[in-house]
Amino acid sequence: MAYNILILNGPNLNMLGTREPEIYGAQTLDDLENYCRESAATLGMKCTCFQSNLEGDLVGKIQTAAAEFDGIIINAAAYTHTSVAIHDAFKTCPLPFIEVHLSNVYAREEFRHKSLISSLAKGVLCGFGQMGYSLALQAMKEILNSRED
Ligand code: CA2
């Protein structure tokens, strides 16, 4: 059975393509989600994309993901740097997850250098634009293939 991956995008990523293309690229959220679905299909996987500006929506998806998905790829956007709730949700989530950022957060303001979820993630990708999502899908496939169960 093909792995089924949940891709979560956090607050303001619905604004992709409208502002700050020098930081986040010119693609819209629709473009990014199509790119993820194509990348997943190329790898023989399935993915479902979800974006929300609300912390509780993201927490809810993380809480219920294990019933339907094999892994999670998340760009928690600004909640990366602030959300104890998302950290706590991942702490009780049995699925492997990978943290992704479009921009290189370490080349930006200091408040973006701290992530409250990195310590729980299998790995973190930042600075590769939309390619980071494709790289995360490749890494997730390897992680799931090497599981022992
Ligand atoms: O680089 C990333 O992917 C971020 O997760 C994006 C977040 C930022 O708070 C993180 O520090 C790094 C912000 C997403 C906002 O996206 C916009 C896109 C276009 C126009 C306005 C906002």
Ligand 1 centroid to 77 CA: how many Å? 5
Decide if 87 is catalytic.
Answer: no
Q: What is the pLDDT at residue 148?
A: 73
Among 101, 111, 117, 135, residue to substitute to test ligand 1 (most atoms within 8 Å of Cβ)? 101
**Above 80 in pLDDT, residue 149?**
no
Q: What percentage of residues in the chain have a pLDDT greater than 90?
A: 97
Q: Residues 93-115: pLDDT tens digits?
A: 999 999 999 999 999 999 999 99
Q: What is the pLDDT at residue 97?
A: 98
**Band of residue 81 on the pLDDT scale cut at 50, 70, 90:** very high
- Helix ranges (H only) for the chain are 21-24, 29-42, 55-64, 84-91, 131-145
Minimum-distance ligand 1 atom for the alpha carbon of 17: 19
* Pocket around ligand 1 at a 6 A CB cut-off: 12-13, 15-16, 18-20, 24, 75, 77-78, 80, 101-103, 105, 112
Q: What is the pLDDT at residue 1?
A: 79
Q: What percentage of residues in the chain have a pLDDT greater than 70?
A: 99
Ligand 1 centroid to 14 CA: how many Å? 10
Cβ count within 10 A of residue 136: 28
Ligand 1 centroid to 144 CA: how many Å? 28
Q: Model's pTM, two decimal places?
A: 0.97
Average pLDDT estimate for 74-96: 98
Q: What is the mean pLDDT of the chain?
A: 97
Ligand 1 centroid to 110 CA: how many Å? 15
Q: What is the pLDDT at residue 139?
A: 98
Q: What Rg do the C-alpha atoms of the chain give, in angstroms? A: 14
Q: What is the pLDDT at residue 86?
A: 98
Burial (CB < 10 A; 0-12, 13-18, 19+), residue 123, is middle
The active-site residue, picked from 3, 87, 101, 133, is: 101
Q: What is the pLDDT at residue 99?
A: 98
Q: Residues 23-62: pLDDT tens digits?
A: 999 999 999 999 999 999 999 999 999 999 999 999 999 9
Q: State whether the Cα torsion 27-96-65-124 is positive or negative.
A: negative
